[in-house]
Copies of this chain bind each other. A is one copy, B any other.
Amino acid sequence: MRFRQAIVAAMTDEMKADESVIFFGEDVAAAEGPFKTSEGLLDTFGPIRVRDTPISEMAFTGAAVGAAMMGMRPVIEIMFMEFLGVALDALVTEGAKMHYLSHGEYSVPMVVRASCGSGLGFGSQHSQTLENWVAATPGLKVVQPSDAQSAYSLLRASIQDNNPVMFLEPRILYAERGEVDTSLKMEIGKARLLQEGSDVTIVSLGNMVNIARDAIKESGISADLIDLATLVPWDREAVLKSVKKTARLIVVEESPWSGGWGSEIISYATSHAFSALKSAPFRITAPDVPVPYSGVLEARYIPTVPNVASAIKQAVSANEVPQPWWITEGVSK
């Protein structure tokens, strides 16, 4: 099934299993979601549990917090991750801290689904991944699937989790197809070792996992490919284990060169597996620019397969850290 259908399936199965699961957001009910990620939900579960909201991200994100505290399990949809910029308070400063502030008396089992990422020509205000807005938030979990299977299994796990979960959906994957075994459970906080190799550990997240996979193939290098899947709390054990085996680490990410999530991985792994490292770990990222609209430019915004492949080769064969393409191609410093 398609990635977006996996979302629908996970929602459907959780809503069937537990009638405290409710769902709301802009145009998610009657219109079945701007990206068709809620096809059939209104029909199946009715207008009490599946609701269209006014354009009021602050109110409906905060409403999810309140409803969760009163025993519901709300899932909400933030159409584009950027829209959380008008509602960050409700999730990060209220929702994520309620359990702590109530000394454990209330919990907040809610999921904020948001589409994210570039590649579709939506321009600079509708194309970022923005993990940094939510990453350093004790009390919040952050999940990002990379294919239909993980979308299905991780969304179910997120809805079942008793904590607030930010669930980031790479928009470019919605139409992608993949096998989905609905009996397969995945745990939040566990990385997926997608392929095993000996010479380098590649850590990635979301759609970049797919780029990394193709790049590994193109490079011909034997690599561990780790799909982090959960960014908070991320699977330190899995990454350390792999790095200690391969002695090399590369993170491939869609976030900007400055401030992206990959530094967290490199930093931790370096601190804790330093002596195991044969060469310098490094990140392959987007550049420090707003996402451009133009198709030719946007195609270069995210790390490309050839770029990642050649970086992997250089890292393994020469133990070198490649310069980002914008430096080697002389377009920026």
Residue A117 CB within 8 A of the other chain: no
Q: Which of A136-144, A156-164, A215-223, A239-247 contacts the other chain?
A: A136-144
A267-305: CB near B (< 8 Å → 1, else 0) gives 110111011010111110000111000000000000000
**Is A138 within 8 A of B290, CB to CB?**
yes
Contacts of A290 in B (CB 8 A): 96-97, 100-101, 138-139
- Assign chain A's interface to a size class: 35 or more
Q: Which of B96, B258, B281 sits near A270, CB closer than 8 Å?
A: B281
From 115 to 148 in chain A, residues with beta carbon under 8 angstroms from any chain B beta carbon are: 124-125, 130, 132-133, 135-139
Q: Which residues of B contact A268 (CB under 8 A)?
A: 263
Partner of A321, one of B234, B255, B271: B271
A188 at the interface (CB under 8 A from B): no
Contact of B288 with A279 in the complex, beta carbons under 8 Å: no
Residues of B within 8 A of A289 (CB): 100, 138
- Which residues does chain B contribute within 8 Å of A139, judged by CB atoms? 290
Judge whether B136 and A256 touch: CB under 8 Å. yes
Given A138-B258, A271-B321, A272-B321, 16 other A-B residues pairs in contact with their CB atoms under 8 A: A86-B89, A97-B125, A100-B290, A130-B136, A132-B136, A132-B259, A135-B258, A136-B258, A136-B260, A232-B259, A233-B258, A266-B270, A266-B271, A270-B280, A274-B277, A274-B279
Q: Which 7 A-B pairs have the closest CB atoms?
A: A136-B259, A274-B280, A85-B89, A263-B267, A135-B259, A266-B267, A263-B263
